[in-house]
Amino acid sequence: MATELNGVSEQKTEKKKTIFSGVQPSGNLTIGNYLGAIKNWTVLQKEYNCIYCVVDMHAITVRQVPADLRRRTYETLALYIAAGLDPKENILFVQSHVPAHAVLSWDLGCFTMFGELSRMTQFKDKSRKNADNINAGLFTYPVLMAADILLYQTDLVPVGIDQRQHLELARDIAIRFNNIYSPTFTVPEAYIPETGMKIMSLAEPTKKMSKSDSNANASVGLLDSRDQIIAKFKRAVTDSGSEVRYGEGKDGINNLINIYCCFTGKTRSETEREFEGKGYGEFKMAVGETVADGLSSLREEYGKLICDKQYLDQIMASGAEKASAIARKTISKVHRKIGYVSV
Ligand code: AQP
């Protein structure tokens, strides 16, 4: 018989695999964050024990205005719920509310090599973008991410392809620790969706769409208005051709086809057939309208949630309590193995 354990039934915890993922509240969430991560999370919530975090500690690796960080933390949580994540089915919480993340991050940092961290492409990228603030947190970011994942004995991590390298490192750290001591951590696998795995910038389609991009036309925000969304797609950079066909060297149009496929569920060839004989202009308009329509119920639901701060506070508090209970077990196991004295 199933018994209640911190709101999650024991039967469920035994049978289902665990999923962990998160988004940084470092800007307005984009359709890249949605298609690469959050949309897939909603599909997984019935089959797995899902733990979804607003990773505010990661966000401060880049300087944040405190009031903005606070507001975006609420916004991100509200967007998770508006996108369809049920707070009763999933553990939804804020990273800084569970200090075990920082504790395990320190421990794991002592099992991570300087050379490994130096090879991380996101560190190189972000160092270039934030040349005046190349802080140690930016460098050790992947260790904190490994702690996030390993703390919950995670089996699967649904992420966009940009995070694959970090996930590989989390696996290496887990295997290293398990080999030095004895099996302690579940070695996680990446869950990378086929479409939506890397949504590109609308302004520079060879670059990933990012929420912190300073060019407002480069990304489509989940909270952009219908008119803004359509206008951004109209302006999207494409090549000088006119045929809506997926192909090499056509990064802009390829990206738009991918986005269209993600929102309609159509395949690339179905999309090419649908727009045969029609120009880029007509296609861009159709993508803009489809995306705006596809996000309308999310925006409506978000509008209601964001006004109810008390409800969001409750979700944060109960999520942190549930997450802490799981994290405590891993921390005590790790500390025993390392040789820390427990009292
Ligand atoms: N363009 C993208 N295409 C597909 N997936 C994406 N993700 C981000 N951008 C894309 C996925 O979103 C999840 C959360 O990402 P994050 O907030 O942890 O950090 P990020 O990958 O650095 O995302 P951004 O939008 O580029 O943020 P900033 O600008 O703050 O650095 C991850 O699963 C990621 O794969």
195/330 Cα distance (integer angstroms): 34
> Measured from the CA of 158, which atom of ligand 1 is nearest?
33
Residue 14, pLDDT score: 57
Residue in 23, 33, 156, 195 to alter for ligand 1 test, most ligand atoms within 8 A of Cβ = 33
For residue 219, give the ligand 1 atom closest to its CA.
1
Statement to judge: residues 326 and 300 lie in one domain: no
Residues 280, 151: Cα–Cα separation, whole Å: 47
Q: 235 pLDDT exceeds 80?
A: yes
My answer on whether 249 and 186 are in the same domain is no
| Residue to mutate, 21, 149, 154, 163, ligand 1, most ligand atoms under 8 Å from C-beta | 163
- Would you say residue 9 has pLDDT above 50? no
Asked if residue 10 belongs to a domain, the reply is no
Among 14-18, 248-252, 278-282, where is mean pLDDT lowest?
14-18
Claim to verify: residue 24 and residue 50 sit in the same structural domain:
yes
Please check whether residue 172 lies inside any domain of the structure: yes
Task: Report, as an integer, the average pLDDT of 309-330.
Answer: 98
Instruction: Choose, from 12, 46, 211, 266, the residue flagged as catalytic.
Output: 211
Residues 279 and 320 in one domain: no
For range 264-269, the mean pLDDT: 94
Q: Does 220 fall in a domain? A: no
Place of tokens 């354990």: 5
Q: Residues with beta carbon inside 6 Å of ligand 1?
A: 23-24, 26-27, 30, 32-33, 35-37, 159-160, 162-163, 196, 198-199, 208-212
Q: Note whether 61 and 137 are same-domain residues.
A: yes
**Residue 208 among the catalytic residues:** yes
211 in active site = yes
What is the count of structural domains for the chain?
2
pLDDT score, position 5: 39
Question: Do 267 and 320 share a structural domain?
Answer: no
pLDDT for 40 equals 87
Residue 56 lies in a domain: yes
Q: Would you say residue 201 lies in a domain?
A: no
Q: What is the pLDDT of residue 238?
A: 93
Q: Which residue has the tokens 């479409």?
A: 195
Neighbours of 339 (CB within 10 A): 7
201 Cα: distance to centroid of ligand 1 (angstroms): 12
> Environment class of residue 209 by beta-carbon count within 10 Å: exposed (0-12), middle (13-18) or buried (19+)?
buried
d(CA 255, CA 199): 7
Looking at residue 201, its pLDDT comes to 97
pLDDT mean across residues, the chain: 93
Annotated catalytic residue, options 17, 39, 126, 266: 126
- 208, 232, 250, 284: which is the annotated catalytic residue? 208
- Same domain assignment for residues 41 and 144: yes
314 and 300 assigned to the same domain:
no
Q: Is residue 238 domain-shared with residue 182, that is, in the same domain?
A: no
* pLDDT at res. 234: 97
326 and 290 in a common domain = no
On whether residue 186 sits in a domain, the answer given is yes
Give Cα separations from 240 to 205, 253, 254 (angstroms). 14, 10, 13
**Which CATH number do you get for residue 161?**
3.40.50.620
Looking at the fold, whether 277 and 185 belong to one and the same domain comes out as no
Q: For residues 306-311, give the mean pLDDT.
A: 97
Q: How far is the CA of 61 from the centre of ligand 1 (A)?
A: 14
Give the residue, by CA position, lying nearest to ligand 1 atom 12: 33
* Lowest model confidence (mean pLDDT) among 51-65, 234-248, 286-300: 234-248
Residues spanned by the domain of 55 = 17-192+309-338
The domain spanning residue 301 has which CATH number?
1.10.240.10
pLDDT at 12: 46
Q: Is 22 helix (H, G, I), strand (E, B) or coil?
A: strand
Query: What share of the chain has pLDDT > 70, as a percent?
Result: 95
Instruction: Tell me the one-letter amino acid at 159.
Output: V
Q: What is the mean pLDDT of residues 284-310?
A: 97
210 CA → ligand 1 middle, Å? 6
pLDDT over 80 at 103, yes or no: yes
Nearest-CA residue for atom 7 of ligand 1? 33
What is the whole-number distance in angstroms between the Cα of residue 23 and the centre of ligand 1?
A: 7
323 inside domain: yes
- Atom of ligand 1 minimally distant from the CA of 21: 33
Residue 265 neighbours by CB under 8 Å, 6+ apart? none
Q: What's the 19 CA to ligand 1 centre distance in angstroms?
A: 17
Look at residue 251 and tell me whether its pLDDT is greater than 50: yes
Each residue of 139-177: pLDDT tens digit? 999 999 999 999 999 999 988 788 899 999 999 999 999
319, 324, 327, 329: CA torsion to nearest 10: -130
Residue 326 shares a structural domain with residue 287: no
- The answer to whether residue 134 is domain-embedded is yes
